[in-house]
Amino acid sequence: MPPVIQNGGGRLPQVSLPADDVASVVDVRWRPSRHAQRLLTLAVAGLLAALLTRRPELAGLAGPAVLLLGAGRAARPSRLEVRTGLTATRLYEGELGAADVAVTADDGDWDARWTLQPGRGVEPASVTAVSGAAARFTFTMPRWGRRQVGSVSLVLHDRWQLAEGRVSVTLPSVDCYPHPAMQRTRVVLSRLPNRLGEHSARAAGEGTEFTGVREYVPGDRQRAINWPATTRRGRLQVNTFAAERSQDVVLLVDATSDVGPPGSSALDLGLRGAAGAAQAHLNARDRVGVITYQWGGARWLAPSLGRRQVYKIIDAMLAADAGWARGAVFSRLPRAALPPGALVVAFSPLLDQRFVEALRDMRERGFPLIVVDVLNVEPPSRYTFADVMARRIWRMEQQAIRFSLRELGVPIVQWDGVAPLDLPLAPYTRRPLVVRR
């Protein structure tokens, strides 16, 4: 039995509903509409004026209003069933979502009017007020995050539009995921762990990529014999193939500082880039994990396989609380979060010195590392000498940080968030990334 919500007089009864299609029974208390009040004003004014001035045509003036008021004795439903549902509880930025609402009643003749009050950060993509027993409101979310879709208020009118009942339904929240950056190519390490995958390794194996020809030795498969080479050399030759391996990829997202305009801030770009990289590597059957450096320390998700891991990674990133804590320490991570030999791709504006130190520490421990620089803004400044000098010093500091990382063998690429990630990563995706310890 669904819960019965009592209407509270003039205030709208609030019905909170979970994400799936849900029916709730709502008691409706009817009260005179504005239209009825206006008709009553006309009727009273006409009759009073007729009595005071003794002019019967003024009584006639009140006639239509009195008739309409007298007709408003139709049966009205006292209990309604309101159903709500969202087409999806997870959306990507800019993706269209929809909220379905419907009302049913056992008796009476009534009209329904739905009005959507969108929540913060939710933009309606259709009209916000609709008449009918069922309605669909479409909406988009321009920026990632967990957001309340808003509420829908239902106004019911009886057949004669003389009475109205109001109900407000709170719509569930939606997880808006960052729109993944486009990345079709992948960074592949030169030394891959001994695990079956899709990347061609340097070692010979049972893959599909041809690497050369060698002399036959007992135990080789007969189907691998290269007959043209055998004919030329006079001895049996067999084809050799590259082994196919997978790699561990750990995405590092720096959520310690979120600078830039909302929608294209450093954190926005970091999350979009990490989501795109996660999709690209998981499509190649790599094991992908994520570490988020954030308020109070680091959160991590161990590398794993499969499409579900994409959602796990994005969920883990969405839980990031952007900010900076003075006492936060980025201590060494457990082996499960950062497996030995894993490729580390960091998305950071490189503004937090502790994060830079963490990168240095990883590099010194031998991890192959690529930093995607997502800093696309500079501090605001006026045209005063002090401001110009401060900006120059800030730029030099940033250059020094990047230089020191490059000196350690950490490649840094700049990404503006608009172009595909393939472009800045192109020098490292064309050939295997050589790991120097």
Q: How far is the CB of 7 from another protein (least distance, A)?
A: 19
Closest to another protein by CB, 17 vs 188, is 17
User: 282 vs 224, 368, 378, CA distance in Å?
Assistant: 31, 19, 34
Q: Which of 248, 390, 416, 259 is nearest to 324 (CA)?
A: 259
CA-to-CA separations, 72 to 62, 80, 158, in angstroms, rounded: 16, 20, 8
Q: Which is nearer to another protein, 157 or 299 (CB)?
A: 157
Structure-token pair, residue 243: 């082994």
- Minimum distance from residue 139 beta carbon to another protein (Å): 11
Task: Give the shortest CB-381-to-another protein separation in angstroms.
Answer: 26
Contacts of residue 44, defined as CB under 8 A and 6 or more positions apart, other chains included, come to 62
Two structure tokens written together for 176:
């808006």
Local structure of residue 131 (DSSP, 8 states): E
Nearer to another protein, 132 or 379 (CB): 132
Q: Which of 139, 56, 151 is nearest to 91 (CA)?
A: 139
Q: Which residue has the tokens 């250059």?
A: 399
Residue 11 or 34 having the CB closest to another protein:
34
Least CB distance to another protein at residue 265 (A): 22
Min dist. Cβ of residue 110 to another protein (A):
10
Smaller CB separation from another protein, 53 or 404: 53
The least distance separating another protein from the CB of residue 64, rounded to whole angstroms, comes to 3
CB of 166 to another protein, least distance (A): 12
Q: Which of 132, 334 has the CB closer to another protein?
A: 132
Residue number, 138 or 185, with CB nearest to another protein: 138
Report the run of H or E that residue 4 belongs to, with start and end.
Answer: strand 4-5
Q: In the chain, what's the furthest Cα-to-Cα distance? A: 131
* Residue 355: closest CA among 379, 342, 368, 371: 371
Nearer to another protein, 102 or 278 (CB): 102
Closer to another protein by Cβ: residue 19 or 182? 19
Distance between start and end Cα atoms, the chain: 66
Residues 6+ apart with CB under 8 A from 271: 144, 178, 253, 314, 317, 318, 347
CA distances from 314 to 129, 158, 165, 175, 189 (A): 34, 48, 42, 10, 24
Min CB(30)–another protein separation in Å:
14
Q: Is the distance from CB of 271 to CB of 144 less than 8 angstroms?
A: yes
Report the C-alpha gap between 97 and 118 in whole angstroms: 12
Least distance between another protein and beta carbon 82 (Å): 11
